[in-house]
Structure 1
Amino acid sequence: MNYIPVSQLGERPLISILSTIFHELPDGVISGAGADDCAVIDINESSYLVVTTDMLHRMTDFPKQMSPWQIGWMSAAVNLSDIAAMGARPTGLLAAIGLPRDTDVSFVEEIARGMRDCTREYDTAVIGGDIDTHDELTICGTALGTVSKGELLTRKGARVGDKVCVTGYAGSAGVALYALENGIDVPDSVLKALLQPMPRIREAMELASLGHVTSMMDTSDGIAMSLYDLSKASGVGFRLQEKALPLQPEVEELVSFDRVTLNSMSLYTGGDFELIFTVRPEGIEEVLNLGNISMIGEVLPQERSISIQKSDGTVLQVERKGYEQLKIADNT
C-alpha cells in the first residue's frame, strides 16, 4: 500500500474516503457521514434531530490574540453554525476539552463562560461533556438541534435558475486574521468577525420558514469552497457577480488593502460563519426583504462550472480553494 500523508490528500478527499467506510445507516438516520453539515435523525412524525461535531486546536484554530472567553465562544459558535445551516433550532451543546496539565484553572473558567454566553445568546446551553489531559488545548463540541420535517435545509436541492445569496459580509474574518498576522490596525468591528463570530441561527430559521430556499450551508471554509460543496451535492454550477459580493464598510475603508485583494479575500478566506444558499426565483424578493442578505449570483448547469463576472464584464473561473484543516499548502 502506498504511503499518502493526510496533509497531501486534504480534508475533503479524506472525508469522502471515510464516508464510504461509514456508509451504512441505522434505521431512523436519514443522512449520515459526509453528506451534509449535520447528521439527520428521524425522531417523530413532525421533526428531525440534527447532530454535528467539530474539533478545534490551540495552534491551528485559535489566533494567539484570542482571549480564553473568545476561545470558548468560538468553540460553541462553530457547532451552532452547522445547526443553522440545516435551518434548525439548537437544543444543546456537549463539549469535550483536552487541557495541558499546567493550564491555569481561571483560563478554563473563562473558556467555559465564553461557551455559556454563546449558547445563551441562541437560547440554548452547554448540557454536558468531558475533560481530559492533552498536549495542546483541544476542544471538541457536539451540538444538537431540531427542525420540522418541512423546513429541513441541506446542501442538495439547488436548481438551474435559482439565485445565490449570502448573509452578512464576505471576507471580514479573513481580513482580520491577515491584519493580526501582519501588524495592520483594523477596527474592533472587523476583529469581532474573527474573534466572536455570530452563527446565523435566527436568519436560518426565518429562511427555512419561508419555503423558498433550495440548498444551504455555512461559509466557514470560504465562499468558493462552499460553492464547490454545493455544486457536488446538487449537481449544478454557479455564476457570481463580483460587484455583488458584500464587503463590510469598515473593511472597504482600509487603505492597507486594494480592491482586488479584498475581492479575493471575500471569496477564498474562511472563518465568517455566514450562510450561503440558493433561492427559487419567485421567492427572492421575500428573502431579501428579511434584511442582512445579499444576492450574489445564480445557479447554472453543472457543465458551466463555477465562475465570477468581474466589474469590467470578464468572466473568470472561481478556484477550488479556501480553508482546509489538513492541508499544509495553499490555505487561505
Structure 2
Amino acid sequence: MDSSSHSQELLFEFPPFLRQYKDGRVERLKGTDTVPPSTDPSTGVASKDVLISPQTGLSARLYLPAKLPTDHNHKLPLLVYYHGGGFVIESPFSPTYHAYLNSQVAQANVVAVSVDYRLAPEHPLPTAYEDSWAALQWVGSHSTRNGPEPWLNDHVDFNRVYLAGDSAGANIVHNMCMRAAKDGGVGGVKMVGSVMIHSFFWGSEPVGSEIKDPEGRAGIERAWKFVFPGSGGCNDPDINPAKNPNLSGLGCRRVLVCVAEKDVFRERGRLYFEALGGCGWEGVVEFFESDDEGHVFHLFKPDCEKAKELIKEVGLFLNNH
C-alpha cells in the first residue's frame, strides 16, 4: 500500500464532528470558523481576547456588558463559560459561541470569560480539565484587583462567580466544581453556582427513557473513550457523576440543570438533578426543561422563543444571589 492510500485510512470517525486518520491527521468537519472580538451592534457588548498561558496557548474571550454600574463600588457577577463540541470541536471564537455569549451577557448584565481549552484528540482529556482549572486560577488572580486584566480588576464581584457550559462544557463545569471542593476552592473567588446546559453525561446502563439500542449507546461510549483514552469507561465519575460517592461535596451552593425534551442526554440531566437533591449536598438545585427541542438547540436557533426563554432563565439564575 502506498503512503497516499495509507493517509486516507480512517482510524476513528466521530460523526458529525471529525475524522482521525491512521497517519495521525485530524479532519474537523465543523466548528472551525472564527470571528474576531468586537463591540456587538445589537447588544453593545464589548469583547476582547486574552492569552492566559504562553506555555500552553490557553486563551479566552472576555465580554463586558454595555450597562456598567455608575457606582464604582458596585461590581457585576462573573460568568466563566466552557463551550461544548464533544471535547473535539468549537472554540469561544466561533460565530456560534460568540453570538451566544453576546446575548447571554447582555441579558444577564454580567462580565464573562469564555475559555479556549485545548481539544482532543491532539490533546486528550484530562487536558481540557487542566486548562479549564488553569483558567479559573487565572480568574482568581484578579480577586485582589491587581491581576493582568483590567476588565476583571475593575468590574467583577469575586463573591459572585458562576460557571456555565453546554454539552461537553457542562461536563467541564461539573468537574471544575468537584475539583474546587477537593482543592479547597479557587483562591479569592466565591463560586456561587453553576449552570449545566444539556450536559454530556452518560453511563453503561440506560436510565429512564434513555435510548436502549446497543449500537447507539456504544457510539457514545466509543466517543468518550476517544476523547479520554485513560478513562475507565462510562461509569467513570467524570462522565457519570451519579456514580461519584463524593458528589455531596460539590463546590458551589446553587445549580441550574437545563435539559431539552428531545435530547439524547436528557435523562442524564434529570439524573444529575435527582442525584444532587438526594446525596446530602447542602446546596439548592433547580431544573429547567425546554419542550419539544433537541441538544443545544439554542445555539442553532438563537432567535426562537424557546432559546430566548432559556437565556432568560439563565440570566435570572445568575442574578438571584
TM over 0.5: no
Q: Tell which has more relative contact order, 1 or 2 (C-alpha 8 A, sep 6+).
A: 1
- TM-score, normalised to structure 2, is 0.29
